[in-house]
Amino acid sequence: MRLHLCAVGRLRAGPERDLVNDYLQRLDRTGRPLGLGPAIEHEVEDKRGGGMPAEAVLLAKAVPDGAALCVLDERGKLLSSPDFAAQIAGWRDAGRQDAAFVIGGADGVDPALRGRADLIVSLGQMVWPHMLVRVMLAEQLYRSATILAGLPYHRV
155 in any annotated domain: no
What's residue 47's pLDDT? 82
31 in any annotated domain: yes
What's residue 130's pLDDT? 86
Question: What does the alpha-carbon distance between residue 30 and residue 53 come to, in Å, rounded to a whole number?
Answer: 36
pLDDT digits (tens, 9 = 90+) for 128-139: 888 999 999 999
154 in any annotated domain: no
68 in any annotated domain: yes
| Mean pLDDT within 5-11 | 95
83 in any annotated domain: yes
What's residue 79's pLDDT? 97
15 in any annotated domain: yes
CB 132 within 8 A of CB 100: no
156 in any annotated domain: no
What's residue 155's pLDDT? 76
**Residue numbers of the domain that contains 141:** 2-149
CATH of the domain at 130: 3.40.1280.10
pLDDT above 80: residue 117: yes
Question: What does the alpha-carbon distance between residue 60 and residue 49 come to, in Å, rounded to a whole number?
Answer: 17
Provide the number of structural domains found in the chain.
Answer: 1
